[in-house]
Structures are given as structure tokens and as C-alpha cells.
Structure 1
């Protein structure tokens, strides 16, 4: 009961956060597009951050932009993206546009000296990522250089970092990430499933899985071993060459394997299908298995102590509302030569982490979402301060290289996009 009350309280405070007075030098954000994700990603988190103001919005349809501005209390409405980017009163730009438009508008924003919070995936392919993050043609008179961040909000939450801190990359045998969305959420003609706009399961929810595996192993994979795409079904307006689901297997140095299973249109037919969407069954998760042979004590000569540790992070995408880090330690004492089991036992531990107060930092409240932590880190960097967690440009380039490699292994072209 206490746990349920805590969840309700966190959700309530997230929806109705405290609203401190804004500082005079607050970062003034402009939103490109009247998007569905912006309220969760920046508008709501900005309410409780005294250093961030949502100041303007622009959309392809000015009427829609005005309705959006009225709904969310945004004071300035621009007639188009270009006008917003050129607004001298705007400090930073948030870009949640379709993936295929990310590179163009991130580059234009940087060239105007705007800081950029760029939704994942950052761009369409690794060539664009390298051009944008490593060699952006920003005018020399713009100093300091604008901050550019790919918005992998999950990485900024204490739960994800606590999970990573429980892993021993040298002894990982395999890791897996499962990310599913029920079939009724996205139609086959949804913009997320248009390859010409750099869509697809791997480019959408799948990017979180790629990110998680890279963080788990702490280094880049050696090769993409296998890819099994499931394409969008035939139909009017459907991009039949775009994947709506994909299973991918990568290999890391030493033989460790990482698996990703992502499905934007998972079937829910029948009672069994609906049952699959209850918590603990459908929850997005990352599972890591370690195996280590420990040194036995002197009196146990001739025996091996084998430890198999499985660490699972449940609800990776929304840990502020609820999450669980489950640690299972399976111990086996066996004869070194014959592997005959002498004794075995299991230990289980549940760990949760909602704030940095439990670790090295001091910022954060239990109700802060992944997006709120991300916005805090972004503001810190814009203000010239260090942040507890950060993603540099090289990280975003390696991310897109791994995605490109998976498409190549599947015999598919990388998502289109010139520089």
C-alpha cells in the first residue's frame, strides 16, 4: 500500500509540479513543431526549473501552432521554423520533428548560435551524425560553442545509472533489451513507419535498445551477427519496405552477445495477448547475465565456486513512476574437473533509485522524470556547469554507426539523408 501511495504521489507531483520564479537569465526555449512529445519532454519539466522558459513555438500550420500555444501558455507563435530559429530572443531550440528533418534544423539552429536539444535518433545516418556532432560549420564569431545534446532522456535518470553500476562488463555473457508497443497504438501508415523520413522500429523505440546495450557493455560491438526484420504490411499509404519490428543480435569482444527485440505493433489478440500488457510482463526491460568463477577458500581445494548473476532493470523508459532493479545471484559449488554439483543456492535483491541523493550527486526529487533530469543536465551545460550525466558528440556518432550496421546486415539501405 505504501508503495502504491508513493507512485500516486510521484505521478501527481509530476503532473502538477512546483513552479518557482524564473531567473532573469533563464534559457528561452523555442519549440519546432506542435508535437505530442514536447509537453512531456520539455514543457512540463520546464515548469519546475527556474532556469528554463518555454518562450515560443512554430509549426507548419500556424493555426495549429496558435492553439498549441494557447493550450500550454506559450507567449510567442512564429509563422514558421525559419522565423523561430532567427528570433534573437530565443536561447535554445527543441527539435522533435520527424527524424528525417533533424539534421537540417539542428544545423540551422547551431549556425544561429542556438543551443539544441535534439530528439533521438539525432539524425538519419552516421554520415550526418559525424557532420553534425564532430564538424558542424558554426560561424567562428559564435562563442562559446552552442550546446548540442541528443535527447536520450533515459540515461539521465539515477535508476539507469544505478543499474549500470551493478554490472561487471568483463564477466557479461549476454544482455537483452525488450521494447514493445501494442498494435493498436500506431497504424501501419504512421509517420514513424516511413523510411523516407528515417522511420522504422529500429529508428524509433529501437534506438533506446541500442543505447542500452552500448552502455551495458561500455564499449562498441565487434559486429552485427543477425537481423530479422518484420516489414509493414501491404496497404494504401504503407511503406512496405520499412520495418515495424526487428530482432537484432550483436557480438562484443570476448564473445558476449547483445540482443534487441523491438516491436512497434505487437499483436494483442485474445486473452493471452492482453495479458501480455500487464506490468512485469510487458514492461520494457534490460536483462544482463554474468558468469564468474570465483576463487574457493583453501579448505575447498578442488572445487569451483561459480556465480551466475542476472541483473534486470524493469521499466527502463519510465522509472520515475515505478521501476525495479532485480539482482539474482545463483551460486554453485562444483568439482573443478567433473563439474559435479556439490551445493547450490540463490540470493535475490531488489534495488530502486529515484534521486542522486543516494549516490554522488545532490540534485533531484523522487518525482523528477527522466526528462526533468535531462533538462537539468542541459541547463547545467548551457550555464557552463558540469552535469552528473552527459552524452558527448562522439557517443551519438557511435550510436548511429551501430544502427547503420544493423540495416546493412539486414540488406537494407541506411536511412536516407545528405549532408
Structure 2
């Protein structure tokens, strides 16, 4: 009962967070686009952050922007994206535009001297990523801060999960993420090639990041990618679902499985919880055994709901032990040890110096570190730098190439510094 009460209290506080007074030097954000993700990704997290103010929004449709601003208590509406960028009172920009517009408007925001919190995927392909994240605009001690918004990695539960992984000895890793059939219409921006859509570009980006973090390095190659294209009559350059396998330098194999229209029996919408499962290679256990025997263990770690762990999650650790004859491999004894953990704040990990409450979502943790970086504070140490984002894009590109699909198209925009 106590656990249920905690779940209810935590989830209520996510949607009704505390309202601390705002600091005089709070970072003033402008939103590019009246997006569906912004309320969860930044508007609500900003409420509980004393150093963040959502000051303005701009959208292509001014009427939509006005309604959006009224709904979310945003004081200023700009008639265009550029007008918002030109306002000197705006310190930072949150970009949740269609993927194909990320490159252009991020460069324009950086040129205007704004910090940028950029929704994933950062850009359309690795070539764009290299230009953006290595741009002259990002060099120098007073350069703007640019962060690709992979919120998942900022939560203490994800960091705890990674601490249980022995990356060089990972044999297999599986990361899956899906949404039920019908959640998105077939003409949604996620499903339009010219806007850099596709399953791997959307939810698949999280699964790709998961493998990169689990193995602690970049894959050598994509060895297989099987896409399910959009239904006939819709954009056939876009994957509605994809399953891809990657080979990593230690010989381990990582699999991503993503579906934007998951169906089950008789084509009905189906649900599958996000998860990551990691299986390690057999490891020798030092034990006092007869010379002809050996004790080995295989550890498997599974993280359920790794993408939005604040609502609920569980990390299961299973250790399969075997004692056997060294030469004949004949089984002498076997047993299994199981445990699980849940991590909702840094303190539960023994780290009392890092701020955070149980109700802080992945987005709230990320916003904390983004502001710390702007303020040149140390923070939690969790971050995603430009080279990381470049590698992220390259891994997605390799999957599309293996699938025989074209890379998402590059923007024609060029910025003059």
C-alpha cells in the first residue's frame, strides 16, 4: 500500500509541480513551434525550476500560437521564428520543430547568440551533425550552449542501470520502444521523408542511444536492418518500424526494435513497455573449489520503462551461477540469484550533493544540467556533447544504409558567420 501511495503522490506532483519564486537572473526561454511535446519536455519542468522562465513562443500559425500561449501561460507570442530570435530579452531557445528544420533554425538561433535545447534527433544526418556541432559559432569561452535533448540519460535511474553494466563484457543488448497502432496518423510529420521522418529518427533514436551507452563505444557496423515501410499510398521512403543489429568492437551484438504503429492480434493496436536487456559474457568467479572445477556466472540486467522512469520503472538483475567440470563441462551445480531496484533520486544512490526530487522527470533533470552549463556550474557530470551527437547521427545513418533506404535529406540552408 505504501508503494502505491508513493506512486500516486509522485505522479500527481509530476503534473502539479511546486512553484518556487523565480530568480532575478533566470534563463528566459523562447519556444520555436507550438509543439505537443513542449508541455512535458520544458513547460512543466520549468515551473519547478527557479532559474527558468518560459517567456515566449512563435509558430507558423499565429492563431495557434496565441491559443497555445493562453493555455500554457506564456506571456509573449511572436509572429515569426526569426522575430523571436531577434528579441534580446530571450536567452535560450527550445526547438521542437519537424526534424528537417532543426539544422537551419539551430544555426540561426546560435548566430543570434542564443543557447539551444534541441529536440532529438538533432539533425537529419551525420553530415549535418558534423557541420552543426563543429561550427565556429560553438567555439570560444562565451559560445552558446547547444544540447541534443536526450532526456533519458540525465535521470539517476539510467545512470544506476549503466553502473550495473560491464561494457567490455556485454555479449548482447536489446533495446525496444514502440507506440500503439493509430497513435499517429500516416501523414504525421514523423512519417514524412522530406521532413526527415522515420521510426529510427523518432523513437528509434532512443534505442540507438541506449546501445551506444550500454557498450560505451560506437558500433563497427550495422550488420542488419529490416524496415517495415509506411503503408502503400503513404511515404515509402519512411520506415514505420525497424529492427536493426549492430556489431560492436568487443564482438557484442546490439539490437534495436522500434515501431510507430505496433499491432497485435487481428491487426489491433498493441502495447509493449519500453525496455533494455543486457546479457554479459560468462565470467569466472574466484572460489575455493577442487582444481578440476570452475564457477562461472552470467549476469543479465533489464531496465523496464527506461525512457520515462519517473512514472514507474524497475531494474532487474539476474545472475545465473554454474559450477562445472573444467574439461568435460559437466554440470555439478547451478542456481540463480535475482534482485531488483528502483531509483528515483540521486540520494538513493548515496549521492547527496546532486539535487533532485522523486517527482523530477527525465526532462526536469536535463533542464537542471542545461541551466548549470549556461551558468558555468559543475552540475551532475551527465552531459551529451557535440561529438556524441555526431556519432548518434552516424549510427542511425548506417542503419538506413543497411536497409537500402536513402539518408534523410540535408538542408540547403547556409549560415554566414
TMscore range, shorter length: over 0.9
Gapped regions of structure 1 (runs ≥ 5): none
1:258-293 CA distance string (max 9 Å, x none): 0011000111445x966x53xxxx210000001233
Kept in 1, the 8 Å contact 2:30–2:94? The answer is yes
Deviation at 1:362, TM superposition (A): 2.5
Kept in 1, the 8 Å contact 2:29–2:54? The answer is yes
Deviation at 1:150, TM superposition (A): 0.2
Decide which of 303, 310, 316 is 1:326's aligned counterpart: 316
Q: Which residue is equivalent to 2:356?
A: 364
Deviation at 1:391, TM superposition (A): 0.7
In structure 2, C-alpha distance between the alignment counterparts of 1:380 and 1:200, rounded to whole Å: 33
Matches within 5 A, 1:182-331: 182-235=180-233, 238-269=234-265, 277=271, 282-331=272-321
Kept in 1, the 8 Å contact 2:274–2:304? The answer is yes
Deviation at 1:412, TM superposition (A): 1.5
Structure 2 vs 1, CA of residues 295 and 375 (structure 1 numbering), >3 Å: closer, same or farther?
A: closer
Kept in 2, the 8 Å contact 1:55–1:74? The answer is yes
Q: Which residue is equivalent to 1:92?
A: 92
In structure 1, C-alpha distance between the alignment counterparts of 2:407 and 2:337, rounded to whole Å: 45
In structure 2, C-alpha distance between the alignment counterparts of 1:371 and 1:201, rounded to whole Å: 22
Q: Which residue is equivalent to 2:124?
A: 124
Q: Which residue is equivalent to 1:144?
A: 142
1:147-169 CA distance string (max 9 Å, x none): 00000000000000000000111
Deviation at 1:303, TM superposition (A): 1.3
Decide which of 391, 395, 417 is 1:398's aligned counterpart: 391
Kept in 1, the 8 Å contact 2:285–2:296? The answer is no
Deviation at 1:176, TM superposition (A): 0.3
Kept in 2, the 8 Å contact 1:293–1:304? The answer is no
Q: Which residue is equivalent to 1:417?
A: 410
Q: Which residue is equivalent to 1:384?
A: 376
Deviation at 1:27, TM superposition (A): 0.2
Kept in 1, the 8 Å contact 2:128–2:410? The answer is yes
Kept in 1, the 8 Å contact 2:137–2:143? The answer is no
Matches within 5 A, 1:56-95: 56-95=56-95
Deviation at 1:318, TM superposition (A): 1.1
In structure 1, C-alpha distance between the alignment counterparts of 2:343 and 2:287, rounded to whole Å: 34
Deviation at 1:197, TM superposition (A): 0.6
Q: RMSD across aligned C-alpha pairs, in angstroms? A: 1.5
Deviation at 1:143, TM superposition (A): 6.0
Q: Which residue is equivalent to 2:344?
A: 354
1:304-332 CA distance string (max 9 Å, x none): 21211110000011100100000000001
Kept in 2, the 8 Å contact 1:198–1:416? The answer is yes
Decide which of 144, 163, 182 is 2:161's aligned counterpart: 163
- The SS at the match of 1:131 is helix
Q: Which residue is equivalent to 1:23?
A: 23
Q: Does 1:337 align with 2:330?
A: no
In structure 1, C-alpha distance between the alignment counterparts of 2:48 and 2:144, rounded to whole Å: 24
- Normalising by structure 1, we get a TM-score of 0.95
Gapped regions of structure 2 (runs ≥ 5): none
> After alignment, is 351-360 or 100-109 more displaced?
351-360
Deviation at 1:346, TM superposition (A): 0.5
Deviation at 1:3, TM superposition (A): 1.8
- The count of corresponding residues between Structure 1 and Structure 2 is 409
In structure 2, C-alpha distance between the alignment counterparts of 1:399 and 1:265, rounded to whole Å: 24
Kept in 2, the 8 Å contact 1:195–1:239? The answer is yes
In structure 2, C-alpha distance between the alignment counterparts of 1:15 and 1:385, rounded to whole Å: 28
In structure 2, C-alpha distance between the alignment counterparts of 1:75 and 1:295, rounded to whole Å: 62
- The SS at the match of 1:299 is coil
Kept in 1, the 8 Å contact 2:354–2:379? The answer is no
In structure 1, C-alpha distance between the alignment counterparts of 2:250 and 2:377, rounded to whole Å: 38
Runs of 4+ in 1 over 6 A off after TM superposition: none
Structure 2 vs 1, CA of residues 299 and 309 (structure 1 numbering), >3 Å: closer, same or farther?
A: closer
Deviation at 1:294, TM superposition (A): 1.3
- The SS at the match of 1:312 is strand
